Structure 1
Amino acid sequence: MALEITYAEVTFKNESKSSGINSDSAAAPKEKTTPHESNHSFSKLLCTSLLIFLLLSAISFFTAFIKQVWSCCPKNWKPFSSNCYFISTESRSWNESEQNCSALEAHLMVINSKEKQDFITSQLRKQYAYYVGLSDLQGNSQWQWVDQTPYNKNVTFWHSGEPSNVEEHCVMLNIRSQRWGWNDVHCDGKQMWICEMMKIYL
């Protein structure tokens, strides 16, 4: 009889342990894997977002770097903003000056801001006058820039009293009373000139 009781107890205990292990083992993986999977997804999303951010930052940096560092002007041309300027050392008529600029894949200078006016006049020699790309070749007082930039009456640098002659259809930069300004002149007069072109980007 004692053997039967012992067997029954052993059997009961084994069944109890077995069922306890099964229920625990079924529940345990669920409790342990869910947070693990969630953390893994979050880490993956974070890494992906970080990589995209770094890639976009790198593209922006290299674009800015190329534009700033790898732009240049031809030899003897002066850089300013996004353009290059060539100041002649010989004199020609206005038409010849524009033809010379065209041969250099440029055009006579367009001045449409105070910054450009101040920059270029700081480079010029006071004893000379220089053709720029403004003219009234039609003779109807309609001033036009050679590159079709609109003529803005609010951004001009005429000397006092200029333009002064309806027979003078071209414009030059010269100095009066220690001040650089624009003066209308006859187009066949011989003056120095200034060419303008876009910077070269490599």
Structure 2
Amino acid sequence: MDDIYANVECGKPGQSRPSPSQTVPRSSERRFHGAVVLSLSLLSLLLLAGLIGLSVHHHKNSNAELSTGEANLTKCLQASDIKLSSLTEERDQLNTSLTEMTKELKRLQSLSKQKKTCPEGWRMFSGTCYLLSTQSGSWEKGREDCRARGADLVIIDSLEEQTLLTGFAAGKKFWWIGLTDRDEEGTWKWIDGTPLTQSYWWEGQPDNGGGDSQWGEEDCAHILTSRDFDKNWNDQSCTASVKWICEKMA
């Protein structure tokens, strides 16, 4: 009994010593918590390092793309400059060629004017040769004669030419010209097929014979030079015997 009391008195009132089974779990728990903290710290460091690496890589890629874009833009600008320079050279060459061609054309025109002449017996006006026939005949005969001379019956396409021919043929009465409505009555055309637009008919003409059978169909035109220069055309039967005027280029 005394031994028992002695053992009790040695301890502090209300306290007892922890058993080994109570101290081991607390120590393991602290080590476990430390390991977790360390692992999380390492993981954070790894994530931070990864983020830094990605940032650096993205920055490098961005710089590389920017450099590539600048290089491509520079190439495009250089190519544009080269093309513009080439076009400028071509333009200058074309201008030079055009200038030379213009000079050559003027030279040829000058020579052409110098060499233009009409055959003997023909009259020249503005680069055209005219011949007043010395014989008479039908409209068709007059045209055949003109063609045999490398010409055709005259086509009058200006008041200036009309006035000139009236003056050429002054003192004579009738002269066939290259105008007819044989294809369609009332539709007058020149021998080259062009329709009549400017005319110099005298008053009341053309009248296709005025309905008088003695004149027949009047389908061919002639100049009556005894009348006013701007009103001296008349329609006549194509078979009538009339002189004619031939025309050809000099």
- Report TM bin, short chain: 0.5 to 0.7
Structure 1 position 114 matched with structure 2 position 164: no
Using structure 2 for the length normalisation, give the TM-score. 0.54
Contact 1:107 1:196 (C-alpha < 8 Å) held by counterparts? yes
Structure 1 position 100 matched with structure 2 position 145: yes
Q: How many Å separate the matches in 2 of 1:174 and 1:107? A: 19
Structure 1 position 161 matched with structure 2 position 204: yes
Q: How many Å separate the matches in 2 of 1:56 and 1:96? A: 45
Deviation at 1:131, TM superposition (A): 0.2
Structure 1 position 129 matched with structure 2 position 180: no
**Pair member with larger Rg:** 2
**1:55–1:178 CA distance, 2 compared to 1 (3 A):** closer
Q: How many Å separate the matches in 2 of 1:175 and 1:120? A: 9
Same amino acid, percent of matched pairs: 31
Q: Name the structure 1 match of 2:245.
A: 194
Q: How many Å separate the matches in 2 of 1:145 and 1:57? A: 35
Amino acid across the alignment from 1:174: L
More strand by proportion, 1 or 2?
A: 1
**1:127–1:58 CA distance, 2 compared to 1 (3 A):** closer
Contact 2:224 2:233 (C-alpha < 8 Å) held by counterparts? yes
Secondary structure at 1:122's aligned position in 2? Answer: helix
Contact 1:107 1:147 (C-alpha < 8 Å) held by counterparts? no
Q: CA RMSD in A?
A: 2.3
Amino acid across the alignment from 2:232: G
Q: How many Å separate the matches in 2 of 1:100 and 1:57? A: 40
**1:97–1:57 CA distance, 2 compared to 1 (3 A):** closer
Contact 2:171 2:225 (C-alpha < 8 Å) held by counterparts? yes
Secondary structure at 2:168's aligned position in 1? Answer: coil
Using structure 1 for the length normalisation, give the TM-score. 0.66
**1:79–1:177 CA distance, 2 compared to 1 (3 A):** closer
Secondary structure at 2:225's aligned position in 1? Answer: strand
Q: How many Å separate the matches in 1 of 2:243 and 2:114? A: 31
Contact 2:173 2:226 (C-alpha < 8 Å) held by counterparts? no
Give unpaired runs (5+ residues) of structure 2.
Answer: 1-92, 210-216
Give unpaired runs (5+ residues) of structure 1.
Answer: 1-48
Q: How many Å separate the matches in 1 of 2:113 and 2:102? A: 17
